[in-house]
Amino acid sequence: MNGARSLLSTLVDAGVDVCFANPGTSEMHFVAALDDVPAMRGVLCLFEGVVTGAADGYGRVADRPAATLLHLGPGLGNGLANLHNARRARTPVVNIVGDHATYHGRYDAPLQSDIASIAGAVSGWYRSSARAGDVAGDAADAVAAALGPPGCVATLVLPADSSWSESSTGPCPPRPRGRPSVVPADTVEEVAKALRSGERSALFLGGTAVRADALLAASRVAAATGAALLGETFPANLERGAGVPAVERLAYLAEMAQAQLEGVRHLVLVDAKAPVSFFAYPGKASDLVPAGCTVHTLARPGEDAGGALEALAEVLGAPPDGSVLAAAVRPDRPTGAVSTESLAAAVGATLPEGAIVVDEGNTSGLFVSGATAGAPRHDWLTLTGGAIGIGLPMATGAAVAAPERPVLCLEADGSAMYTLQALWSQAREGLNVTTVVLSNRSYAILNMELHRVGADAGGPQARRLLDLTDPDLDFCDLARGMGVPARRVENAEDLVTALEAGFAEPGPTLVEVPL
């Protein structure tokens, strides 16, 4: 057995059985070994940003890593933005980067580059397997590191000779799975004391604390103490909808976030960082914690946030059935023109039970969250790291992780164009993804930011850099060219029909919504 085969077997034994891949010559033995280890599903993606975004979406939904396969430094670099988003989401990813054979490096062949530096920007764990006999053990370590908790991008570099040479060891059994550490009772007591003070308080929830079980406990705490429930602006995977306690997300715009936090004297972080402004603006605050507010940390990443919230609820004497659940309410099916409001209502009226919503709708998607608050229970995946171009790949990975669940991808037009190739992988793999392209023909948010940062009003040259016309993008033609059926809708009735058809039919569809 060569190193590549020992790698694939080790990954599969550790529960990593999907590999999103864009291979090159140095990865050929890995590719060849896929036929020896059929339990590993290889999914070809036509750009590395699709590979890495799909691995992120898979990990957020499956709670275990997918593998990537990337081609040396340039392939890794192409995938970097979505690895950055995965790092922010604390998604487990086993990031495999092929490299030249160890002895070839000193010749400085054209594809030679500083892989360690590129990987360093996003990796919580990094190793290069110097010998074929090391590969399996390194792979088992990579899976354990990726899983954490907290999850991270674990980058394993696979030199071509480590891949093709005979392994002295064969596959390696999985490492014991790490457990989240228990939050000390003292910490819980200290937070309970702050919440009992009678001063205005809020729980600030992120990471694992926005999953349903943790939200149930958080809601008990809120009901017992009057504390507000606030969520991170961009959660990795927020469970929401009818029957789940609702959490208000902190607004993207700093002044709106400041209004939400105004008067809060105790801010309790639960698997979240203290809130900061997304960008700096001249003359405005970066730190959004209000003056006079004490920040308490109930659970850090890697700690058992759900368990800590339950312990807190117990210490506070909150009744077990004290959570407040979102009621089942849907907007009426909208009629008339398509607008950001009728788009939101159409999604709210049709979203099926168990759906996964991938939200890269940006400015046009603003109202969808409100319109789906009482829709049947669903997951909401967002742009954790602010690096656009994740939506279509993330939807691809989510659909591979949960083939029985419909995936809705709300995708702004500008962001769609970064990684549009994901549609081809969705068609090839027959994934049930309904992509709604929000075609406002603009980098709309940047038009707004131009003013907010205090830059000059923006003349024609500036506007030309923020505008997506001339020529217009035809998303239906683009989708069809990659094997995905598509239609453009001109009114809300057609949008409702298109969404229902998209959810019901297997395989991908794309709906272009001119806004």
Ligand X SMILES: Cc1ncc(C[n+]2csc(CCOP(=O)(O)OP(=O)(O)O)c2C)c(N)n1
Judged by the rule CB under 6 A, the positions of this chain that interact with ligand X are: 81, 362-364, 386-389, 412-415, 440, 442-446
Distance, in Å, from the CA atom of 161 to the CA atom of 28, rounded to the nearest integer, reads: 11
Residue 214 or 423 having the CB closest to Mg ion: 423
Residue 389 or 397 having the CB closest to ligand X: 389
**CB within 8 A of 474, min separation 6: which ones?**
none
Could you tell me the smallest distance in angstroms from the CB atom of residue 31 to ligand X?
A: 29
Which one of ligand X, Mg ion, none is in contact with 375 (Cβ closer than 5 to 8 A by kind)? Answer: none
Residue 303 or 413 having the CB closest to Mg ion: 413
Could you tell me the smallest distance in angstroms from the CB atom of residue 452 to ligand X?
A: 13
412 lies in the site for Mg ion, by CB under 5 A: yes
Which one of Mg ion, ligand X, none is in contact with 388 (Cβ closer than 5 to 8 A by kind)? Answer: ligand X
Q: Report the residue number whose CB is nearest to ligand X.
A: 414
Could you tell me the smallest distance in angstroms from the CB atom of residue 251 to Mg ion?
A: 20
Residue 81 or 412 having the CB closest to Mg ion: 412
Q: How far is CA 229 from the centre of its chain?
A: 22
φ and ψ at residue 486, rounded to 5 degrees:
-150, 150
Distance, in Å, from the CA atom of 463 to the CA atom of 457, rounded to the nearest integer, reads: 10
Compute the C-alpha angle 339/415/23, nearest 5°.
145
Which one of ligand X, Mg ion, none is in contact with 304 (Cβ closer than 5 to 8 A by kind)? Answer: none
- CB atoms under 10 Å from CB of 295, counted, come to 14
Residue 206 or 391 having the CB closest to Mg ion: 391
Which one of ligand X, Mg ion, none is in contact with 366 (Cβ closer than 5 to 8 A by kind)? Answer: none
Residue 23 or 57 having the CB closest to ligand X: 57
Task: Write out the DSSP string of 240-263.
Answer: ESTTS---EEPPSSHHHHHHHHTT
302 lies in the site for Mg ion, by CB under 5 A: no
Residue 252 or 503 having the CB closest to ligand X: 252
**CB within 8 A of 297, min separation 6: which ones?**
187, 268, 269
Could you tell me the smallest distance in angstroms from the CB atom of residue 489 to Mg ion?
A: 17
Could you tell me the smallest distance in angstroms from the CB atom of residue 343 to ligand X?
A: 12
Q: For the sheet containing 433-439, what is the strand order? A: 238-240, 378-381, 356-360, 407-412, 433-439, 509-514, 486-488
Q: How many helices (H) and strands (E) does the chain have?
A: 21, 18
Could you tell me the smallest distance in angstroms from the CB atom of residue 468 to ligand X?
A: 7
Could you tell me the smallest distance in angstroms from the CB atom of residue 438 to ligand X?
A: 7
Residue 285 or 445 having the CB closest to ligand X: 445
Nearest to 419 by CA among 152, 81, 119: 81
Tokens linked to 438: 């929000």
Could you tell me the smallest distance in angstroms from the CB atom of residue 53 to ligand X?
A: 11
At residue 330, the 3 state secondary structure works out as coil
515 lies in the site for Mg ion, by CB under 5 A: no
# of chain residues touching Mg ion (CB under 5 A):
5
Could you tell me the smallest distance in angstroms from the CB atom of residue 304 to ligand X?
A: 33
Which one of ligand X, Mg ion, none is in contact with 445 (Cβ closer than 5 to 8 A by kind)? Answer: ligand X
Which one of Mg ion, ligand X, none is in contact with 342 (Cβ closer than 5 to 8 A by kind)? Answer: none
Q: Angle, to 10 degrees, between the axis of helix 212-225 and the axis of helix 185-196? A: 40
Could you tell me the smallest distance in angstroms from the CB atom of residue 488 to Mg ion?
A: 16
473 lies in the site for Mg ion, by CB under 5 A: no
62 to 66, 218, 239, 359, 403: CA distances (angstroms): 9, 23, 14, 18, 11
Which one of ligand X, Mg ion, none is in contact with 148 (Cβ closer than 5 to 8 A by kind)? Answer: none
Could you tell me the smallest distance in angstroms from the CB atom of residue 449 to ligand X?
A: 8
Tokens linked to 304: 């058992």
Query: 431-470 mask for Mg ion (x: CB under 5 A)?
Result: ---------x-x----------------------------
H or E segment and range at residue 124: strand 123-128
Residue 147 or 473 having the CB closest to ligand X: 473
Residue 187 or 442 having the CB closest to ligand X: 442
Cβ atoms of 111 and 74 closer than 8 Å: yes
Which one of ligand X, Mg ion, none is in contact with 311 (Cβ closer than 5 to 8 A by kind)? Answer: none
Distance, in Å, from the CA atom of 268 to the CA atom of 218, rounded to the nearest integer, reads: 11
414 lies in the site for Mg ion, by CB under 5 A: yes
Residue 203 or 444 having the CB closest to ligand X: 444
Instruction: Tell me which residue has tokens 């085969």.
Output: 5
**CB within 8 A of 366, min separation 6: which ones?**
340, 344
Residue 11 or 473 having the CB closest to ligand X: 473
470 to 436, 462, 465: CA distances (angstroms): 22, 15, 12
Q: Which of 413, 424, 495, 515 binds Mg ion (CB under 5 A)?
A: 413
Distance, in Å, from the CA atom of 327 to the CA atom of 368, rounded to the nearest integer, reads: 17
Where along the sequence are the contacts to Mg ion (CB under 5 A)? 412-414, 440, 442
